[in-house]
Amino acid sequence: MRVIAIDGPAGSGKSTVARAVAKRLELRYLDTGAMYRAVVFAVLRNGEDPADHEFAARTARDIELDIGLDKVMVNGVDATIEIRGPEVTRAVSVVAANADVRRELVSRQREWTERNGGGVLEGRDIGTVVFPNAELKVYLTADPEERARRRAKEVTDLDYEAVAADIARRDAFDSGRKADPLTEAVDAVIIDTTGMSIDQVVDKIERLLAAATPSEGQA
């Protein structure tokens, strides 16, 4: 089973790169951040507080999730737009720090991968926790200013300063939490994508894979 792990902080280029790698390798792609966002969405729709540990954990266990390439369905409701909105984004770090939510979502991520015979998974803990034996682990970074610029382009209703402040807050929270903090796996290849185009990053990953995989007749 081929598993490629792509981790890194917000705005490091993970989603675009992971999608492109999946397409080139003809593997399925899973955005695990969308799963944490979906739990927040479901908690808020129930009028509950995302910081309520038990409620969030129960929601993660009961939630019906369909994370598609371009569409995210949560309990039968199209949540594609809302999971990227400011309300969910504000609350997602606290839910991602909930160890019971993590246990449930990690188990679903492993099941999804088994079911699909492998995949390209992007997140914060794929190489460290979900698939420590992945064929290739990539940790993407970029200067905080560049990451904020990229996100500000995606999120049209927020200005650069607001996005930069939000990214800094989430980075600190995601890296500082006890449960599976954002950190590079010891054997991850770190790629600083500052000033690199998507194609350059994807080409580099393809070269790394080729170098790691013996070609036919060589094995």
Residues that bind ligand DC (CB under 6 A): 10, 32-33, 36-37, 92-93, 96, 123-125, 170, 174
DSSP assigned state of 129? I
**Using CA atoms, how far apart are residues 86 and 12, in angstroms rounded to an integer?**
19
Q: How far is the CB of 32 from ligand DC (least distance, A)?
A: 4
Choose between 125 and 205: whose C-beta lies nearer to ligand DC: 125
Choose between 97 and 207: whose C-beta lies nearer to ligand DC: 97
**Of 101, 43, 45, 35, the residue nearest 73 (C-alpha):** 35
Q: How far is the CB of 218 from ligand DC (least distance, A)?
A: 34
**Using CA atoms, how far apart are residues 31 and 205, in angstroms rounded to an integer?**
18
Cβ(21)–Cβ(203) under 8 Å?
no
**Using CA atoms, how far apart are residues 27 and 16, in angstroms rounded to an integer?**
15
Q: How far is the CB of 56 from ligand DC (least distance, A)?
A: 13
Q: How far is the CB of 100 from ligand DC (least distance, A)?
A: 13
DSSP assigned state of 214? P
Query: What one-character-per-residue DSSP string does 52-81 give?
Result: -HHHHHHHHHH--EEE-SS-EEETTEE-TT
Q: How far is the CB of 195 from ligand DC (least distance, A)?
A: 22
Q: How far is the CB of 168 from ligand DC (least distance, A)?
A: 12
CA distances from 130 to 36, 73, 111, 143 (A): 14, 23, 11, 26
Choose between 10 and 202: whose C-beta lies nearer to ligand DC: 10
Choose between 94 and 202: whose C-beta lies nearer to ligand DC: 94
Choose between 16 and 203: whose C-beta lies nearer to ligand DC: 16
Choose between 101 and 196: whose C-beta lies nearer to ligand DC: 101
